[in-house]
Structure formats: structure tokens, C-alpha cells
């Protein structure tokens, strides 16, 4: 009888604090009790005394003494008491009087720690109906408290706090937010989710935003879960110059996801107008291994996205596509609608609708090599009916290509290929080109490589690889306007191809050769270096490349590229096109450096004036962005873009973040120097403070302080 009584007592004590009450108890595993002594008094009272420890299904209770009265079915526990649950919940107290079912009772000097993050302390804690924990004269915080007189960075004091185990909600009456023990905000009622609840309805942390156009305003998001697979976030944004409601809707389906982001605005920038935007995207798995993706990008005016910082895009593209990819097949179809926001472009004369469809299949014939079959269709259409600038085009392409690779006895790697392509086009609205045209383009090529590999005494591995290619393409030029291949250029990716145009509306013809040399080094210490140089020589210049593409003459510019990096986080890559007169036609470089304290990236771009690419002026600009972890808790960031050709800044930003176990504070300042007919320079400041430990505030432990710092 005594043994049974002891077992029932321990089972009741060690029930999980967050579990819901059940109508009928489920079978339980035996509990384990360890104490210095266990006695039963003549009046049927069980006493476990001295270093009491009870274990039950992974839960642990420690106390100085446990007294159980069978007549009253009450437990009296002498502390210090500590109960640890399997979900991370920790309850401590100095003493407790509670029933054996642990559903009703009183704990004095109690502290409740939820999910190893949020601490609730009270003079006393009342347990009600096995569901509610009611704390009187209580405080809640997720900050580390050092010493008996230590003060948390923030805490919320309340006359009463109720924790609902089932709903996982915390209710506060007479709540007072204190920062370093200084009262800041008083709220008569307050509710927030406990940290174990992942998706809770309610307000998220606000953002204070100030811009030179809209003044000082406040964004206050409100999150609304709609079942387990959907949610809606509404964010009112109010300032002296604007009234805006932002919205985000997300939904997960069995075979895909969608997300919609948008806003509706009435402001003083365009008085009397309703402004807004909508961005939507989604991905779905279709039958037979097809994938559907789509995105929608809409806005009411050219400046709205920039005014409110929603996007920096100056051309919007809404698209829907279907794709299937297997080892030997690629099938895809895409429909795109473009909407330009640039003040020097017109949507009437820019291609508004574009469609692309293609199918490619690889075959491996018995006579060797690989046979690749390709079929493509493309079309783009303008709203304008004006001659030439309102041109519409439909183009088709079909190609069969056979290629094979091998290695000779002397170590030469070779590749040979031959094929034929048929290109056809139909033009409408352009009197300078035929309505219809079609050409046949037979082609072939041979590529030879001779890699030389050596290893130094230190273990560094070197490779020197010369490569040459000879190719030929027959047929005539396709007569159509140049809409698809206006931005072609020589680079490492197309040095060994027969046509370096971006699309099949244009093709290089005749004999051509390409030569290149690549040198690489990889050291055991982690350093790696590479340099490459190459050039293309053609029989005649019939392709009409732009001047700065590096391909505008029978002898192309020299392509020079290099890279260097190591395992400590340094990476640099650069390339340039330079002609025989040592004039640079293009240059770009980017370097990054990353370690435990620093993330730094810088880039440079040079594009000379070229009317063929609609570039009236030289483009020369550099940019950098980086973040430096000043200390364990402080991180500073900065970014800058500078236009060297115009000797002015394009954009600049500064940021500062403080993060510890209980708070994240971010301050960001951004200056956009853009100035055009529909854009004005703008300065923006944003401040966000998030209290950790709640389900919306993030993990409280990643930056946990110690009492020495």
C-alpha cells in the first residue's frame, strides 16, 4: 500500500507542466524516487526527506522534502524546488502546497522558465485546473540577470500574469514595461504568446520610419494565422504625409506555395490619388514532373516603389512558366509582360509581351558521340503601331547537333561537332525588313586542349592549358530587327562558341578561330590563383556587334581575366576587354573578404560610351558594402555607390545593430541620390526594436551574455 501511494504521488508531481488535462489517464511508466529517507507516520503521512529527486518519463523534480497526506490528498513540498520538463520548461519555487494531481495549489517564491527563454517570476504562483498558472506581483523578461541586485535590460512588471498551458498565451493585468528599471510604457491589459507557440495571432514589433518625403511614421504589423497552412500580415503605416496599409498573404498547398505582397496608399505626394502595388509569386508541382512558377509585379505609378522602399526595380516583369527537366530532356515555356518605370522609355515602344518555348533532347547513337535536338519559338509584341519602333516579331529555330570528345595518345583533349540549324522569322510593323525570312545554317567545329600539370616541392599544383578552336557557319544573315541581341559581349563563357549573340535572331557566319591560355595554381595552404587570356579571329566582320562588345572587328579585343582567393575568406575576380591600341572597352572587378568579424564586398564597373547600346555617356562606378562585428553584441554596416563619370554619389547607407539574449535593436539610414523626372533624392531612417523570448521575437539564446560582460 505504501509503495503504491508513493508511486501515485510521484506520477502526479512529475506530470508535464504544459500538458492538457485528459478525461482518462493513459498508462504510465514507473517513476523513480531517490531521497535520504522515506518514512510513513502513524497518521498515514508519507515523508521523503533530504536530497529528494524524482524522475518520470524524462522529467525531473528536486526538493528538500516532500510530504504527502493520503487523507487530504495534498502535497507539501519544501524547497528549493526545481521541476524540469521535457519541452524545456523549468519551474522553481521555495515551497509548494498542491494536490496530488498537480492541478490546483500554491507555490511561493516561484519562477517559471518557458522554452529556456522567457522567465516569469512572482511572489506566489497559483496552479488552477491543471491548465492555468496565475502569478501575483510578477515580472517577465528574457534577459540575463546578474547577482541578487542585478537589473535586467528590460522587464514587464504586472499585478497579475496568467499563463494558459493549452492556448500557450500569456495575459498581463496592469503591465508596465521597464528599461533598465525605468518605467517606459503602462498598459492596463496585455497579451502575448509564449515562446513555444510558432504562429500566434497578434501585433509584431513595430518599426519607426522617417523619410525626407513622408516624414516620421510608424509601421505596426499585425499577424493573422488562418489555419495551419495560411497566414495574413496587415501593416498600417501612418505618418503626417501618408496613410498606407501593407499586406502579405502566404499559403502552402500540398504541391506548392504562393505569396502576395502589396500596399494601398493615400498620401500628400500625389494628392487625391490612390497609389499602390502588388507583387505575387508562386511555385507548384504539376503532373508528369512539370513545375509551374509565376510572378506578378504591378504598381500604380513610376515612383511609388522607390518612395516607399518596396523595390529598386525600374522595369517590372510579370511572368508565368512551365518547366520539366530530366537527365536527357529540357522542356520549358514562358510568357512575360514588361512594364518600364524609366522616364526615358515608353511602354508603347518597348516589347510589352514576350513568349518563349523550347524543347531540347539528348540522344546517344550507336555510332558514338551525342546528338542534341533543339526546337525553339519566340515572339515579342509592342503596343505601338508606328513603323519600325512598333515592330512585332515571331521567330522559330530548329537545330540538330552531333558532338564527340576524346583524347589522343599525346594527351591532347579534342572535341568535334557538326550540325545544321534552321531559323525563320516573321516581322510586322517594320518597313526596313522583309515580312518573312528563313535561313539554313550548317556549322561545324574542332576544339583542341593540351593541359600541362606540375606539382612543386611545397605541394602546390599548377596547370597551364592552351586551347584553340576552328569553326565554320554557313548560310546568310536572318533579316530582322535587332531586339534580342543588343547587349552581347566577349567573355570566358562564350570564347569557344560559334555565335556570341544572346539569341538566335542573329548569328556569326563564315570561318572563325579562337585561341586562349589558362594558368591556375592551387596551394596546400588554401591559396588559389588563375589567369586567362583569349581572342577570336573571324574571316570577315558581318555580324554588326556593338563597338564596346569586344567583337566589332575581324579580330576581337583581348579578353583578360584573373581571380585569386584563399580559405581565410578572400576572393577577387576581374576581367577586361582591351584592343590592340590598349584602349579598354569594358572592365569589371569584384572582391570580397569574409571572416568571423568582417564581411566586405567591393566592385568596379567601366562601360565606355556606345550609341549602339543606347549609352550616351561613359559609365564608371564603384560600390562597396560591408559589416563589421565591433564586439560580441554590436555590428556596424555601411554601403556606398559612387558614379566616377559624373563625380557624384548614387546611394549610401549606414546601419548599427545591437543584439543580446533578450533584445535586437537595429538602426538604418539610407540616402538615394537618384534624380529624374519621376524620382527625387530621398533620405530614409528606420529603427526597429525586438524583444526576444516571445514566439515573434526570435531565439533568446544565440547571443546570451555572461555576468562578466
3-state secondary structure of 62: strand
Query: Of 68, 114, 67, 113, which Cα lies nearest the Cα of 93?
Result: 113
Q: In this predicted structure, what is the pLDDT of residue 709?
A: 55
Q: If pLDDT is split at 50, 70 and 90, which confidence band does 114 have?
A: confident
Q: In this predicted structure, what is the pLDDT of residue 477?
A: 87
Residue 269, burial from CB neighbour count under 10 angstroms (0-12, 13-18, 19+):
middle
pLDDT at 1 over 70: no
In this structure, is the dihedral angle defined by the CA atoms of residues 411, 401, 331 and 278, taken in order, positive or negative?
positive
Q: In this predicted structure, what is the pLDDT of residue 678?
A: 65
Q: Residue 131 to residues 86, 123, 128, 164, 212: CA-CA distances in angstroms? A: 17, 20, 6, 6, 51
Q: If pLDDT is split at 50, 70 and 90, which confidence band does 427 have?
A: very high
Find the mean pLDDT for residues 510-539: 95
What grid cell was written down for 219?
A: 509601421
Contact (Cβ atoms closer than 8 angstroms) between residue 113 and residue 96 = no
Q: In this predicted structure, what is the pLDDT of residue 320?
A: 98
Q: If pLDDT is split at 50, 70 and 90, which confidence band does 25 have?
A: very low
580 preceded by cis ω (within 30°)?
no
Phi first, then psi, for residue 582 (nearest 5°) are 65, 30
Q: What is the pLDDT of residues 205-229, one digit of tens each?
A: 899 999 998 999 999 999 999 988 9
Query: Of 588, 469, 592, 482, which Cα lies nearest the Cα of 544?
Result: 482
pLDDT at 9 over 60: no
pLDDT at 21 over 70: no
More confidently predicted of 100 and 51: 51
The terminus-to-terminus CA distance of the chain in angstroms comes to 55
pLDDT at 687 over 60: yes
Query: CA–CA separation, 212 vs 673, rounded Å?
Result: 12
Query: CA–CA separation, 391 vs 380, rounded Å?
Result: 9
What grid cell was written down for 84?
A: 524540469
Question: Kindly report the CA angle at 197 between 194 and 199, in degrees rounded to 5?
Answer: 125
Contact (Cβ atoms closer than 8 angstroms) between residue 458 and residue 524 = yes
Q: If pLDDT is split at 50, 70 and 90, which confidence band does 707 have?
A: low
| E-only strand ranges, 539-583 | 558-565, 570-578
Contact (Cβ atoms closer than 8 angstroms) between residue 424 and residue 440 = no
pLDDT at 705 over 80: no
Find the mean pLDDT for residues 32-56: 84
Q: Which residues contact 457 (CB under 8 A, 6 or more apart)?
A: none
Instruction: Please state which of the ranges 107-111, 226-230, 512-516, 543-547 shows the lowest mean pLDDT.
Output: 543-547
Instruction: Please state which of the ranges 42-56, 386-400, 401-415, 459-473 shows the lowest mean pLDDT.
Output: 42-56
3-state secondary structure of 481: coil
Q: 383: which DSSP letter? A: S
Q: What is the mean pLDDT of the chain?
A: 88
Find the mean pLDDT for residues 510-538: 95
pLDDT at 71 over 70: yes
Q: In this predicted structure, what is the pLDDT of residue 30?
A: 56
Helix residue spans in 524-643 (DSSP H)? none
Q: Which residues pair with 702 in a beta bridge?
A: none
Q: Which residues contact 344 (CB under 8 A, 6 or more apart)?
A: none
Return the number of other C-beta atoms located less than 10 Å from residue 427's C-beta.
Answer: 20
Q: In this predicted structure, what is the pLDDT of residue 79?
A: 82
pLDDT at 14 over 50: no
pLDDT at 269 over 80: yes
Q: How far is CA 337 from the centre of its chain?
A: 25
Q: Which residues pair with 425 in a beta bridge?
A: 395, 437
Return the number of other C-beta atoms located less than 10 Å from residue 231's C-beta.
Answer: 17
Find the mean pLDDT for residues 258-269: 96
What grid cell was written down for 80?
A: 528549493
Give the percent of the chain with pLDDT over 90: 61
Q: What is the pLDDT of residues 238-250, one digit of tens each?
A: 999 999 999 999 9
Q: Which residues pair with 441 in a beta bridge?
A: 421
Query: CA–CA separation, 493 vs 491, rounded Å?
Result: 5
Find the mean pLDDT for residues 695-704: 57
Give the percent of the chain with pLDDT over 70: 92
3-state secondary structure of 565: strand
More confidently predicted of 151 and 319: 319
Query: CA–CA separation, 438 vs 503, rounded Å?
Result: 16
Find the mean pLDDT for residues 675-695: 82
Q: 679: which DSSP letter? A: -
Q: In this predicted structure, what is the pLDDT of residue 38?
A: 84
Contact (Cβ atoms closer than 8 angstroms) between residue 160 and residue 134 = yes
Q: If pLDDT is split at 50, 70 and 90, which confidence band does 701 have?
A: low
Query: Of 707, 708, 706, 696, which Cα lies nearest the Cα of 118?
Result: 696
Q: If pLDDT is split at 50, 70 and 90, which confidence band does 167 have?
A: confident
pLDDT at 88 over 90: no
Domains for the chain: give ranges and CATH numbers. Answer: 2-201 (2.60.450.10), 391-574+592-597 (no CATH)
Provide the CB-side half-sphere exposure for 688 (13 A, CA).
Answer: 18
More confidently predicted of 695 and 453: 453
Q: What is the pLDDT of residues 121-138, one digit of tens each?
A: 999 999 888 788 899 999
Amino acid at each position: 500500500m505504501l509503495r503504491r501511494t508513493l508511486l501515485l504521488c510521484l506520477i502526479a508531481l512529475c506530470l508535464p507542466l504544459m500538458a492538457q488535462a485528459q478525461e482518462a489517464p493513459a498508462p504510465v511508466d514507473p517513476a523513480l524516487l531517490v531521497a535520504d529517507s522515506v518514512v510513513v507516520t502513524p497518521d498515514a503521512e508519507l515523508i521523503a526527506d533530504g536530497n529528494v529527486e524524482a524522475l518520470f518519463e524524462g522529467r525531473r523534480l528536486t526538493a528538500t522534502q516532500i510530504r504527502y497526506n493520503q487523507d487530504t490528498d495534498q502535497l507539501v513540498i519544501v524547497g528549493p524546488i526545481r521541476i524540469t520538463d521535457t519541452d524545456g520548461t523549468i519551474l522553481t519555487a521555495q515551497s509548494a502546497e498542491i494536490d496530488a494531481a498537480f492541478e490546483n495549489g500554491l507555490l511561493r517564491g516561484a519562477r517559471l522558465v518557458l522554452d529556456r527563454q522567457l522567465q516569469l517570476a512572482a511572489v506566489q504562483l497559483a496552479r488552477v485546473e491543471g491548465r492555468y498558472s496565475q502569478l501575483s506581483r510578477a515580472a517577465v523578461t528574457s534577459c540575463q540577470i546578474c547577482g541578487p541586485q542585478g537589473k535586467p535590460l528590460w522587464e514587464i512588471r504586472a499585478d497579475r500574469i496568467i499563463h494558459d498551458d493549452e492556448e500557450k498565451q500569456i495575459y498581463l493585468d496592469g503591465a508596465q514595461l521597464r528599461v533598465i528599471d525605468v518605467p517606459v510604457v503602462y498598459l492596463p491589459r496585455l497579451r502575448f504568446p509564449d515562446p513555444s507557440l510558432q504562429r500566434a495571432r497578434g501585433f509584431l514589433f513595430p518599426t519607426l520610419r522617417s523619410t525626407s518625403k513622408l516624414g516620421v511614421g510608424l509601421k505596426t504589423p499585425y499577424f493573422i494565422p488562418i489555419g495551419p497552412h495560411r497566414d495574413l500580415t496587415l501593416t498600417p503605416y501612418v505618418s503626417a504625409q501618408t496613410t498606407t496599409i501593407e499586406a502579405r498573404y502566404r499559403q502552402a498547398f500540398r504541391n506548392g506555395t504562393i505569396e502576395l505582397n502589396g500596399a494601398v496608399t493615400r498620401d500628400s505626394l500625389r494628392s487625391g490619388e490612390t497609389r499602390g502595388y502588388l507583387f505575387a509569386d508562386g511555385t507548384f508541382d504539376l503532373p508528369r514532373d512539370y513545375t509551374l512558377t509565376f510572378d506578378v509585379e504591378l504598381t500604380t505609378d513610376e515612383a511609388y516603389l522607390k518612395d516607399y522602399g518596396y523595390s529598386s526595380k525600374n522595369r517590372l516583369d510579370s511572368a508565368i512558366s512551365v518547366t520539366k527537366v530530366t537527365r536527357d530532356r529540357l522542356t520549358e515555356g514562358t510568357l512575360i509582360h514588361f512594364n518600364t518605370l524609366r522616364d526615358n522609355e515608353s511602354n508603347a515602344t518597348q516589347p510589352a509581351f514576350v513568349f518563349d518555348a523550347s524543347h531540347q533532347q539528348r540522344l546517344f547513337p550507336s555510332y558514338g558521340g551525342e546528338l542534341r535536338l533543339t526546337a525553339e519559338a519566340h515572339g515579342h509584341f509592342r503596343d505601338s503601331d508606328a513603323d519600325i519602333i512598333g515592330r512585332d516579331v515571331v521567330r522559330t529555330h530548329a537545330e540538330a547537333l552531333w558532338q564527340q570528345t576524346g583524347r589522343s595518345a599525346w594527351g591532347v583533349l579534342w572535341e568535334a561537332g557538326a550540325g545544321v540549324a534552321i531559323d525563320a522569322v516573321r516581322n510586322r510593323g517594320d518597313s526596313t525588313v522583309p515580312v518573312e525570312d528563313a535561313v539554313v545554317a550548317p556549322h561545324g567545329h574542332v576544339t583542341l586542349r593540351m593541359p600541362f600539370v606540375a606539382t612543386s616541392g611545397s605541394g602546390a599544383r599548377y596547370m597551364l592549358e592552351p586551347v584553340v578552336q576552328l569553326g565554320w557557319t554557313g548560310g546568310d544573315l536572318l533579316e530582322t530587327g535587332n531586339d534580342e541581341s543588343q547587349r552581347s559581349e566577349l567573355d570566358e563563357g562564350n570564347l569557344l562558341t560559334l555565335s556570341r549573340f544572346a539569341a538566335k535572331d542573329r548569328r556569326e557566319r563564315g570561318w572563325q578561330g579562337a585561341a586562349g591560355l589558362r594558368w591556375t595554381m592551387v596551394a596546400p595552404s588554401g591559396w588559389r590563383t588563375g589567369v586567362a587570356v583569349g581572342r577570336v579571329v573571324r574571316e570577315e566582320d558581318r555580324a554588326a556587334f556593338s563597338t564596346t562588345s569586344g567583337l566589332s572587328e575581324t579580330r576581337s579585343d583581348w579578353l583578360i581575366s584573373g581571380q585569386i582567393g584563399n580559405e581565410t575568406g578572400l576572393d577577387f575576380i576581374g576581367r577586361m576587354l582591351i584592343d590592340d591600341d590598349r584602349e579598354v572597352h569594358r572592365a569589371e572587378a569584384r572582391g570580397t573578404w569574409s571572416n568571423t568579424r568582417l564581411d566586405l564586398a567591393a566592385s568596379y564597373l567601366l562601360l565606355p560610351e556606345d550609341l549602339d547600346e543606347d549609352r550616351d555617356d561613359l559609365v564608371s562606378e564603384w560600390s562597396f558594402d560591408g559589416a563589421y562585428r565591433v564586439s560580441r553584441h554590436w555590428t556596424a554596416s555601411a554601403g556606398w555607390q559612387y558614379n566616377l563619370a559624373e563625380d557624384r554619389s548614387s546611394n549610401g547607407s549606414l546601419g548599427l545593430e545591437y543584439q543580446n539574449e533578450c533584445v535586437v535593436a537595429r538602426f538604418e539610414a539610407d540616402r538615394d541620390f537618384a534624380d529624374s523626372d519621376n524620382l527625387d533624392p530621398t533620405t530614409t531612417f528606420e529603427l526597429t526594436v525586438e524583444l526576444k523570448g516571445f514566439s515573434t521575437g526570435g531565439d533568446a539564446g544565440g547571443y546570451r551574455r555572461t555576468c562578466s560582460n
